[in-house]
Chain A
Amino acid sequence: MRTIRFLLEKEFRQIFRNKAILLLIIVMPVMQLIILPLAANYEVKNINLSVVDHDHSSYSQKLISKVTASGYFKLTGYNASFKEAMKLIEGDRADLILEIPHGFERNLVRENHQQLFIAVNAINGVKANLGGAYLGSIIRGFNNDIRLQLLPVSKFNGAAVIEISSSNLFNPLMKYKFFMVPGILAILVTMIGGFLSALNIVKEKEFGTIEQINVSPIRKHHFILGKLIPFWVLGNVVFTLGLLVSWLIYGIVPLGNLLVLYLFASVFLLAILGFGLLISTFCDTQQQAMFVMFFFMMIFILMGGLFTSIDSMPDWAKTVSRFNPVSYLIEVMRMVILKGSGLRDILPQLGAVGVFAIVLNAWAVWNYKKSN
């Protein structure tokens, strides 16, 4: 125990002496949590729309103004032919083409039937999908409006028979920030813990001080614990800062119990720190450790369910994400903060992360060799 005290004393001294890193640990997460949720916006806005109007009627004008008034679309072209509009798409100045055929108004009134054509630039899949869907629903709305205008409502031709009303649970205004902030905080805690621990033992290897440790009677698990505990404390500090920022800036107050949140974050930190230390025992230089950690971080983040839902991933990817500790943290953060889940609800995730913590740290201790 006394050895660990000396190790901790040394580690904390080194951390507090490196002012640049310390500043980075504190300032980076705060700044990123302020900036990123504002930019990482799920809503698709400013879709560039080009209209090809062959009809030039009052109905076509009405449709166009309804579309532009929705706020999602920006009219970037009003072309005479589809060919011209296509040029805008090729030049990346339009995302969508709406073609209104000749005789649009006449056919609609006389024959009660008309077709419109939408062409979507699908290079940006999300934008194309949502843009097409928005436009479709606006046109449906337009359709209902004119039907009500043209025909008196009766038993047989009433507007819609099935009407859906929905209510959004836990995030009533569907604010993407409520969804993103806990996720981004999870990523920040992961990055800080992962990189700091991955670089640490390797740094001692680079400087040669590890030789002096290896030739001393320090026990291996003492040494690893001496590295683990300081970063665990720092990780909790970052986590606390993040919660404060999300409360002060975004007004997000965890619905669930803070203790449950901290319990999970603490166990998660042990897992991710163990992973970093494991990488550190495998690598010989800080550069190597940095790149290996970067490789895993990309996978952890992109397959962690922050940006894309894990449920809609293919089966193999779902299996991979089960071995991704970050996916559990993101999930639990959202559960506890937005839904107010309790300890019993998060037990499966807690168990999984607990197993990671034990396996990764045991592996790191085993792989750290004092003699070879």
Chain B
Amino acid sequence: MEYVIKTDRLTKRFGDFTATNEITFEVEKAEIFGFLGANGAGKTTAMRMLCGLSIPSSGTATVAGFDVYKQTEEIKRNIGYMSQRFSLYEDLTVQENIRFFGGIYGLSNREIKTKGEDLLEQLGLKNEAKKLVASLPLGWKQKLSFSVAVLHQPKIVFLDEPTGGVDPVTRRQFWDLIYEASAKGITVFVTTHYMDEAEYCNRISIMVDGKIEALDTPANLKSQFKASSMDQVFYQLARGAKRSD
């Protein structure tokens, strides 16, 4: 098995608060890995460490074969990232955003043009290409944001609650995009609060108070916790949580 993410007792402390406490796991290539946990469980902190945005306090981890302490810039070249907060430039048009983000990841002008056109085609945004991103509905922004994050064919794409506040139909379309990316060999690392989305993942980890309490396929987790749905699995684990925000 080829692992693209490998962590060993990865920890992040802020003062005397341990946000992420000795988490150890591996993610395989082209896997869709669900990263679940209640608010404040430490998901975003863990994800930020894997993206090279935050330097760990202790433990080790490699992402796409690069060390999260010393090779953060190499990691950044090989990943895509979509944060909780919508992060395209609202005062640029759809096309200008595609051009900018393609450009800073080193795509050639021709690649930007062809890939950008494919992307617009795929999302059905051809007529909106020259509109400001600010004028698009949230669901379209999210899909655009994801497509821009995978434009440069990264090895891994990190999605931090990508479908928050989006209607069920758009969520479904969003997951179609995720499957497509996975089929192209891109590993997807996704956090979510929607348990139906958890079922779409190949494997899931559930974090409680900074620790990973469960990690397996959705089917195995359900039988392990004698639950009929992921909802029940999550309740059983998260009920014991002491912190929330």
Question: Contact residues of A with B, CB < 8 Å?
Answer: 2-3, 5-7, 9-10, 13-14, 17-18, 207-209, 211-218, 370-372
Please give, as numbers and ranges, the residues of chain A lying within 8 Å of B85 by CB-CB distance: 208, 211
Known pairs A2-B106, A209-B87, A217-B105; A370 contacts B92 (CB<8 A) = no
Q: Which of A7, A207, A211, A371 has the most CB of B within 10 A?
A: A371
* Inter-chain CB contacts under 8 Å: number: 77
B76 interface hit (Cβ, 8 Å): yes
A14 to B97: give the CA distance in the assembly, Å: 11
Please give, as numbers and ranges, the residues of chain B lying within 8 Å of A10 by CB-CB distance: 89, 92, 96, 100
Contact at B76–A6, with CB atoms within 8 Å? Answer: no
Question: Contact residues of B with A, CB < 8 Å?
Answer: 51-55, 72-73, 76-77, 79, 81, 83, 85-92, 96, 99-101, 103-106
Contact at B100–A215, with CB atoms within 8 Å? Answer: no
Decide if the interface of chain A is mainly helix, strand, loop or mixed.
Answer: helix
Query: Which residue of B76, B86, B91, B99 contacts A217 across the interface (Cβ within 8 Å)?
Result: B76
Please give, as numbers and ranges, the residues of chain B lying within 8 Å of A7 by CB-CB distance: 104
Please give, as numbers and ranges, the residues of chain B lying within 8 Å of A3 by CB-CB distance: 103-104, 106
Closest Cβ–Cβ distance, residue A232 to chain B (whole Å): 20
Closest Cβ–Cβ distance, residue B112 to chain A (whole Å): 10
A-B contact pairs, 14 of them (CB 8 A): A2-B106, A3-B104, A6-B103, A14-B89, A208-B87, A211-B85, A212-B87, A215-B51, A215-B83, A216-B105, A217-B73, A217-B77, A370-B52, A370-B73
Closest Cβ–Cβ distance, residue A87 to chain B (whole Å): 62
Give the top 6 A-B pairs by smallest Cβ distance, nearest first. Answer: A6-B103, A208-B85, A215-B81, A212-B87, A217-B77, A217-B76
B87's closest neighbor in chain A, by CB? A212
Please give, as numbers and ranges, the residues of chain B lying within 8 Å of A14 by CB-CB distance: 89, 91-92
Please give, as numbers and ranges, the residues of chain A lying within 8 Å of B104 by CB-CB distance: 3, 6-7, 213, 216-218
Closest Cβ–Cβ distance, residue B148 to chain A (whole Å): 9
Please give, as numbers and ranges, the residues of chain B lying within 8 Å of A211 by CB-CB distance: 53, 81, 83, 85, 87
A7's closest neighbor in chain B, by CB? B104
B72's closest neighbor in chain A, by CB? A371
A217 to B52: give the CA distance in the assembly, Å: 11
Contact at B54–A216, with CB atoms within 8 Å? Answer: no
Closest Cβ–Cβ distance, residue B48 to chain A (whole Å): 9
A115 to B89: give the CA distance in the assembly, Å: 77
Known pairs A211-B85, A215-B52; A6 contacts B100 (CB<8 A) = yes
A214 to B89: give the CA distance in the assembly, Å: 14
Please give, as numbers and ranges, the residues of chain A lying within 8 Å of B103 by CB-CB distance: 2-3, 5-6, 9
Contact at B105–A13, with CB atoms within 8 Å? Answer: no
A212 to B53: give the CA distance in the assembly, Å: 10
B145's closest neighbor in chain A, by CB? A212
Contact at A215–B54, with CB atoms within 8 Å? Answer: no
Please give, as numbers and ranges, the residues of chain B lying within 8 Å of A6 by CB-CB distance: 99-100, 103-104
A209 to B90: give the CA distance in the assembly, Å: 9
A160 to B106: give the CA distance in the assembly, Å: 83
Please give, as numbers and ranges, the residues of chain B lying within 8 Å of A17 by CB-CB distance: 91-92
